Amino acid sequence: MKPNRKSPTMSDVARKAGVSAMTVSRALKADSVISPETRSAILEAAEELGYIFHAAASNLRSQRTDFVAVTIPSINNANFADTVAGLSEILSGRNMQTLLGYTNYDVDVEEQLIEQLLRRNPQAIVVTGGHHTARARRLLENARIPVVETWDVPDQPIDHYIGFSNADAVRAMVDHFVAVGYRRIAFIGGDAGRDTRGSDRRRGFLTAMRSHGHDDPCLIAAGAPPISMREGADAMARLLHDHPDTDAVICVSDLSAFGALTECHRRGIVVPDQIAIGGFGNYEIAGMCVPTLTTIDAHAREIGLRTGSLILDLLDGATGTMAIDVKPGLIIRRSSLRETSPRDSQ
């Protein structure tokens, strides 16, 4: 096992290097005034002792942690990973870190998480989505740090937001489907209530369909978010069974859309000739599968980059509340473009 004596502190390094603890502290900061010889002697002593800087003590005294807390729904989602990557890239330019937490698409988990994260005294907090529990709202409102909501346009922003309307994004896709001739369009998404972005997308679907004169479009509930490929496939199977006249389906994400696509393959149903499919997120798979998937690019990385810049500006003393809309892009691919017109092929 391991040696059991106490970890060396700055005092130990100071003693070994023949200086004071304060000088050791300066030697370990990049931008402090100290003679180069003293510094290198100290760094050498530190390395020999196996000294590890004690972040908690530093944070306590200096009242800064140099990190930004971030909540995202899942550890395993390329969209949110891209947002975090963009954010981290900007923050690392100022030697700041991101402290990540996962809500599992659940606002109650989010509430717990926000409290956990605030206990570690971040310099700012970024949350995914604009729907929160009452207590989570209060925690964020009372936090004495910048708060940024992302991936949404909140009804009542807490502080700043950088995102887009999930409902409007889906409306754009419905408009496209209608424009190219689809009429009996269904929606595959999560069960109502839990994933707020998914619910917003379903709501946008309904509104758009009604504005096109389709009052009661078919909605398939595929389970609790996130909707997996398998759940997308199962939902497609149900849709084909219960509503065989459907000529297009919009899925809450590319992953469920891909699952739906494979179900069509298995049944020998040709996409898009017999049924069109649309997804959401522009995941890599949407551009790779056969046929390629029509989808919506939320500009995940851009959201992260802008969030990072905003936070740096705010920490530099910028004032005012920022409300930034990052307009998603509709990406039209093969899964919604058939050669013949819909009417002809039915």
Partner DNA sequence: ATGAAAGCGCTAACAC
Partner DNA sequence: GTGTTAGCGCTTTCAT
Are 292 and 70 spatial neighbours (Cβ–Cβ below 8 Å)? no
Q: Give the whole-angstrom CA distance, residue 215 versus residue 206.
A: 8
Q: Binding partner of residue 25 among a copy of itself, DNA, none, CB under 5 to 8 Å per kind?
A: DNA
Residue 26 near DNA by CB under 7 A? yes
Q: Give the whole-angstrom CA distance, residue 278 versus residue 296.
A: 9
Considering the complex, state which of residue 25 and residue 294 has its C-beta at the smaller distance from DNA: 25
Q: Give the whole-angstrom CA distance, residue 3 versus residue 164.
A: 54
32 sits in which H/E element: none
Residue 316 near a copy of itself by CB under 8 A? no
# of chain residues touching DNA (CB under 7 A): 27
Q: Which of 19, 90, 251, 303 binds DNA (CB under 7 A)?
A: 19
Residue 139 near DNA by CB under 7 A? no
Q: Give the whole-angstrom CA distance, residue 312 versus residue 36.
A: 31
Interface stretch with a copy of itself, choices 149-157, 197-205, 214-222, 282-290 (CB under 8 A)? 282-290
Q: Binding partner of residue 143 among a copy of itself, DNA, none, CB under 5 to 8 Å per kind?
A: a copy of itself
* Residue 341: C-alpha distances to residues 140, 249, 297, 335, 337 (Å): 52, 17, 26, 14, 9
Residue 33 near DNA by CB under 7 A? yes
Q: Which of 33, 56, 134, 179 binds a copy of itself (CB under 8 A)?
A: 56
Residue 346 near DNA by CB under 7 A? no
* Residue 241: C-alpha distances to residues 185, 245, 280 (Å): 15, 10, 24
Binding region for DNA (CB under 7 A): 6-7, 9-11, 19-23, 25-26, 28-29, 33-35, 37-38, 53-54, 57-58, 60-63
